[in-house]
Amino acid sequence: MSHSQLTIPNSPFTIPPALPGPNGWEMLRMVRGLRDNPLPHLQQAQQQYGDVVRLPVGRRQMVLVSDPELVKHILQDNNRNYTKRGEQIQAKTVVGNGLLASEGEFWRRQRRLAQPAFHRQRIAAFGEVMVDETVQLLAGWQHGRQLDIAQEMMNLTLSIVTRTLFSATLDTAEMATVASAMPYLLRHTRPRIVRPRALRWRLPLPNNRTYWRHVAALDEIIYRLIAERRRTAADHPDLLGLLLAARDEETGEGMSDQQLRDEAMTIFLAGHETTANLLAWAWVVLGQQAAVRQRVREEVTTVLGGRLPTTADVPALSYTNQVIQEVLRLYPPAWIIMRTATADDQLGDYHLSAGTSVLISPYLLHHHPHLWHNPTSFDPERPRPAHKFAFLPFGAGPRICIGNQFALMEATLIMATIIQQYDLHLVPNHPIELETAITLRPKHGVRVVLSAEC
């Protein structure tokens, strides 16, 4: 959408148009809507006011941006002006000052340090663990059984990230701790990020106590992984090994325990939950679309001929990969990306003041009717729009997801391994509903019945 600027005749000054957005009653209605059920209200705001919308959230100015060119400006071209408001996120949430939330030079150094663990060749070597963990999971399944495939995928991707990046395994009690902490923390962290200064986070209220009890339980696991590795002094060239071996160039000192904890916690959480959601949504779509499921199975049979997949098979599983990409479009697990402008900026026709929060929703971009033909339908063979920033499941620019190749390979190998052995049928009448916590999750899980592959 373009709004012409006001020009004063014979004057060098122009008055930029005001940011469009709700006012009066409409604004009050929107405040409640955004708090209780943000996604449909963001979608409505975009449909009503266009690709740059001023939103009412607390006392801060917040702007929703859904024009791919402006998204490119924020995440890539002028990314240094758009921070993650690191300190506030760190102070209030679980991941602390790890890669996801850190900023500036410090972030750059930590990202350089972690990068080798995600190098293409290193990731390729993880394929074996990904398939092995899937085979172990399948050993506990039986035909005719009903299960929550969303929770199964959570446990599986958690085991995979722990083995590949920490060279460790979790026991049953630890798996249960994570399974109970994650939904709670994901649900209760978003409001803490949106209103970081609210007094209510500092009061001794029961839900604050529950929140920090879950964080403490996760901390215990992370500190156990770190302590164990220190004790055995094993020289694993995985992510935890890289973090432990890192030395400050000037002082020669290693990372503090707190920083190690923050980095490890970030990867532990970011490295499993999003991929598990991607897979959960994939099983929903495959359950709904018998023809797509059949084509995936045919491809898997042709490429693998009954043997287990390896990393080398991934490029040949091209239709499976297209299905995964289309699931990422329809159900992007990272459905919202937030930044804060540190200085005034020009965003297309509009003036943006320093301090403004910017919201970019991959979900909205992926469903934008001007960018995609028939955006709500599932079509793995649909052409991509010309603008690269219309499809952003892993973000973009310097802060693009460090684990994107890891996740794509993992999803392909898991899907190929499972579909060879089982047909998953959605349990009729089990509600499938979007939950917009930090990530986009199936609110009531995904119940399926296992049957022999046909």
What are the residues binding ligand HEM (CB under 6 A)?
99-100, 111, 161, 266-267, 270-271, 274-275, 278, 333-334, 337, 393-395, 399, 401-403, 406-407
In the complex, what is the shortest distance from the CB of residue 3 to ligand HEM, in angstroms, rounded to a whole number?
A: 28
Task: Pick the closer one to ligand HEM by CB: 316 or 401.
Answer: 401
Task: Pick the closer one to ligand HEM by CB: 265 or 448.
Answer: 265
Which residue is at the shortest CB distance from ligand HEM? 403
Helix (H, G, I), strand (E, B), or coil: what is residue 83? strand
Task: Pick the closer one to ligand HEM by CB: 55 or 270.
Answer: 270
Q: Which of 33, 43, 35 lies closest to 194, judged by CA? A: 35
In the complex, what is the shortest distance from the CB of residue 454 to ligand HEM, in angstroms, rounded to a whole number?
A: 29
- Asked if residues 78 and 372 have their Cβ atoms less than 8 Å apart, the reply is no
Q: Residue 293 contacts by C-beta under 8 Å, 6 or more apart in sequence?
A: 286, 287, 419, 423
Instruction: Give the strand pairing for 337-341 and 82-83.
Output: antiparallel
Task: Pick the closer one to ligand HEM by CB: 108 or 230.
Answer: 108
Task: Pick the closer one to ligand HEM by CB: 38 or 271.
Answer: 271
Compute the distance between CA of residue 347 and CA of residue 53 in angstroms, rounded to an integer: 12
In the complex, what is the shortest distance from the CB of residue 7 to ligand HEM, in angstroms, rounded to a whole number?
A: 36
In the complex, what is the shortest distance from the CB of residue 67 to ligand HEM, in angstroms, rounded to a whole number?
A: 17
In the complex, what is the shortest distance from the CB of residue 240 to ligand HEM, in angstroms, rounded to a whole number?
A: 12
Burial bucket for residue 117 (CB in 10 Å: 0-12, 13-18, 19+): buried
In the complex, what is the shortest distance from the CB of residue 328 to ligand HEM, in angstroms, rounded to a whole number?
A: 7
Burial bucket for residue 233 (CB in 10 Å: 0-12, 13-18, 19+): exposed
* CA-to-CA dists, residue 290 to 142, 283, 295, 426, 430, angstroms: 21, 11, 9, 11, 18
Compute the distance between CA of residue 17 and CA of residue 210 in angstroms, rounded to an integer: 46
Task: Pick the closer one to ligand HEM by CB: 85 or 447.
Answer: 85
